[in-house]
Structures are given as C-alpha cells and as structure tokens.
C-alpha cells in the first residue's frame, strides 16, 4: 500500500529558482492538501483541493501554485523560491473534507532555499 | 493566541511511566485529531474523536466537549513512543487548527 507519496524527500534551491513538489495518492481520495511545518509553529495549510479541477487557498498561499488535473496527483509549485519558504512540506489526503476525516500524510519534503 | 494549545511542549519520561499530553481548544470543532510524528519521519493519524474515549493498544484518547479539552494517554511507555504528538481540531469542511506539538522522549 503506497498511500501518499511525496517526492523529492530533500531539495536545496537557490533564491529565485522554481520547482515542483510532487504528491500522489492511490486511495482515490477526493480531498488533498499541502501544509508547511516550521519550528515552533503548527502545521499551516497552503492550498487544498476537494476534487479534480477544484483548488482553493489555505492560510499561507503566497508564493505557491497548485493544480489538480487528476484525482491522484496534487503538485505544489514554487514559482520563485525565497529563503522564507525553507520548511518541511507535507501533503495529505482524505476521502472527503478534512475536518472530520482521518488524514493520510506523506513522509514530507525537506526544502532549503539558499 | 492559538486556537489549539498543547501542554507540555516537551516531556521526558522513564520507560514504563504513564504519560499524559493535554490539548485545549477555543473554537468549535467537529472532531479532535491526535497525530504522531517520529523524528525525520512522516505524520501518522492516531485518533479522531468527537466524544468520549478511544483506545488503541497502549494509547488512549479522551475528549470533554463541554470543557473543550482532550488528553492523550500512553500507558507503560516505551522508547519507541518517543515522537512529537500533535493535537488538531477539525471543522466540518476543510479547516484544521493545529497545536504546535508535544515532544516526548522516553528513556530506557
């Protein structure tokens, strides 16, 4: 059972570079989301999707783009990386909405921006 | 002030001890989630509860809706329980309010 798969696990970027963090799930979940985790802070929601073709902003969306062309995949794009985006990023999924469904998390992507 | 507060922030216990981690929330929620994060690892959902108590192995989670408080208990703690435990309040729809986590270290 693959569950939620995130790639890459680690990445170092230079300021201004762009990249895409990949997230795929094989559980046919409608809801997918991206969080960032920073020291001393709780997980913060970046973007989420309630199904293919539908995305919405979370708490900290600036500097990130998402798209959901299939149920399985929900990539997160950094358009022009900034040091403030150094963080650990988690993708999560659940069958329906997030609040009252158990969330399935990926292993995280540790991203450093120099 | 965070909508979800956890205590303590850090906890060190001897193997075999009974452990309690507390979570208080100030917003209306439809479910309370407990998550576990091992060092360098991903996040695993332990419990989701909206009332009463749930038990899984040596882990017990309780919630008091009136007092807006939840606890996670670990009985007969073991070094493999060392992890960060995160409390999160979920609202119907797509909102989560996360605590900042409790870092637990169990010493053999």
What band does A97 get if pLDDT is binned at 50, 70 and 90?
Answer: confident
The Cβ of residue A35 has, within 10 Å, a number of other Cβ atoms equal to: 26
Q: Are B96 and B90 in contact (CB under 8 A)?
A: yes
- The token pair that represents B43 in the structure block: 């996040």
* Overall size of chain B counted in residues: 108
- Residue B68, chain A, CB below 8 Å: the answer is no
The pLDDT assigned to A1 comes to 64
- The token pair that represents B26 in the structure block: 């100030």
In this predicted model, what pLDDT tens digit does every residue of B28-42 receive, in sequence order?
888 999 999 988 778
Average confidence score pLDDT of chain A: 93
The pLDDT assigned to B25 comes to 94
What band does B1 get if pLDDT is binned at 50, 70 and 90?
Answer: low
- The token pair that represents B102 in the structure block: 């409790």
In this predicted model, what pLDDT tens digit does every residue of B42-97 receive, in sequence order?
899 999 999 999 999 999 999 999 999 999 999 999 999 999 999 999 887 677 88
Which of B42, B90, B100 faces A41 most closely, judged by CB atoms?
B100
Q: How far apart are CA A41 and CA A39, in angstroms?
A: 6
Which of A56, A98, A104 faces B96 most closely, judged by CB atoms?
A98
How far away is chain B from the Cα of A81, in angstroms, using its nearest Cα?
Answer: 23
- Whether A82 has a pLDDT exceeding 90, the answer reads yes
Q: Are strands B19-25 and B4-7 parallel, antiparallel or unpaired?
A: antiparallel
How far away is chain B from the Cα of A39, in angstroms, using its nearest Cα?
Answer: 9
Q: Are strands A10-13 and A109-113 parallel, antiparallel or unpaired?
A: parallel
Q: How far apart are CA B63 and CA B81, in angstroms?
A: 21
Name the residue in chain B with its Cα closest to that of A101.
B48
Q: Are A8 and A109 in contact (CB under 8 A)?
A: yes
Q: How far apart are CA B60 and CA B20, in angstroms?
A: 9
Chain B residue numbers with beta carbons less than 8 Å from the beta carbon of A108 are 41-43
Name the residue in chain B with its Cα closest to that of A31.
B94
- Whether A3 has a pLDDT exceeding 70, the answer reads yes
User: Which residues have C-beta within 8 Å of that of residue B71, sequence separation ≥ 6?
Assistant: B20, B21, B22, B23, B61, B62
The pLDDT assigned to B81 comes to 96
Those of residues 38-77 in A touching chain B at CB distance below 8 A are 40-45, 48, 50, 56
Q: Are A55 and A47 in contact (CB under 8 A)?
A: yes
Chain B residue numbers with beta carbons less than 8 Å from the beta carbon of A56 are 94
Which of A44, A98, A108 faces B90 most closely, judged by CB atoms?
A98
Q: Are strands B31-37 and B43-49 parallel, antiparallel or unpaired?
A: antiparallel
In this predicted model, what pLDDT tens digit does every residue of A11-48 receive, in sequence order?
999 999 999 999 999 999 999 999 999 988 889 999 99
Best CA proximity match to A50, nearest among A95, A4, A101, A106: A95
């Amino acid at each position: 059972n693959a569950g939620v798969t995130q790639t890459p696990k680690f990445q170092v970027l230079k300021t201004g570079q762009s990249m895409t963090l990949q997230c795929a799930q094989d559980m046919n979940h409608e809801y997918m989301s991206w969080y960032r985790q920073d020291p001393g802070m709780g997980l913060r929601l970046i973007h989420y999707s309630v199904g293919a073709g539908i995305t919405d902003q979370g708490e900290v969306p600036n500097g990130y783009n998402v798209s959901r062309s299939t149920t399985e995949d929900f990539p997160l794009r950094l358009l022009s990386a900034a040091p403030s985006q150094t963080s650990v990023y988690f993708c999560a999924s659940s069958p329906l909405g997030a609040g009252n469904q158990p969330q399935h998390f990926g292993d995280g992507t540790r991203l450093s921006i120099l | 002030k965070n909508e979800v507060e956890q205590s303590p922030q850090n906890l060190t216990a001897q193997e075999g001890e009974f452990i309690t981690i507390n979570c208080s929330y100030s917003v209306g929620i439809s479910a309370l989630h407990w998550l576990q994060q091992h060092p360098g690892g991903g996040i695993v959902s332990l419990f989701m509860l909206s009332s009463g108590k749930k038990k899984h192995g040596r882990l017990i989670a309780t919630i008091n809706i009136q007092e807006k408080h939840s606890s996670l208990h670990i009985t007969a703690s073991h070094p493999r329980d060392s992890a960060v435990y995160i409390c999160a309040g979920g609202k119907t729809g797509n909102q989560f309010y996360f605590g900042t986590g409790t870092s637990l270290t169990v010493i053999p």
